[in-house]
Amino acid sequence: MRKVSAVLFDLDGTLLDRESSLLKFIGSQYDRFNHELSLIEKESYINRFIELDARGYVWKDKVYSQLLKEFNITGLTWEDLLEDYVKNFKHSCIGFPHLHEVLRNLRQMGIKLGLVSNGKTLFQMDNVKALGIEGFFHSILISEAVGLRKPDQRIFQKALDELGVKAAHSIFVGDHPENDVRAARDIGMVGIWKRDDYWEEAEADFIIEDLAELFSITLEGVVLYEQN
């Protein structure tokens, strides 16, 4: 019987509803810089940012440089907009439903919790704190801080080492089929895909739509949420 004593999570698209958060932020940024952006339709500014952002895989210096060029904005620099993004995105962070409830219940069950995220250290930590979830985790690893990025198996192993657990007794929950699910499974963890409609499918041990579904998972030979 395989027992699971640790659950590790991705951040963006798994715990943080990045799509909703980004829409909220870009709308508020437009309002803050309305004097310089007023000749551009708000919807056009938002939609073009979302396109250029490419789901977060393009850093914002390039996104803002392109926006300024396309909309012929002369009263701002990309540095102005990037500084605003880094400073204020945290105020727009929206967690997925049942976020706190799920993390709290897992902790109460004695499960060790880890978070492994690609991204800039201070920016991602600001978002973790804004969601009010930092205190739930026994280990938080951000790629910039550790010099490793998913799907590199070493960042998963580092998290497991910090938690003091083996891959075979751990679960990883993420939205990216390759960087999260396949990478976690390749190192021997149970890989759970939190479905994202951007991808049609993922090779996962389980697929969930909502974080709360973690508590209804069953698999022959696996006992979830029990300590070793």
Q: Which of 154, 168, 156, 124 is nearest to 142 (CA)?
A: 124
pLDDT at 224 over 70: no
Q: Specify the CATH class of 2-17+95-223 in words.
A: alpha beta
- The predicted-structure confidence for 19-50, as pLDDT tens digits, reads as follows 999 999 999 999 999 999 999 999 999 999 99
Q: 0.85 exceeded by the pTM?
A: yes
| H or E segment to which residue 141 belongs | strand 139-142
Query: Which of 94-108, 119-133, 202-216 has the weakest average pLDDT?
Result: 202-216
First to last CA, the chain: 11
Mean pLDDT for the chain overall:
92
pLDDT at site 59 = 85
Indicate the pLDDT class of residue 190, thresholds 50, 70 and 90. very high
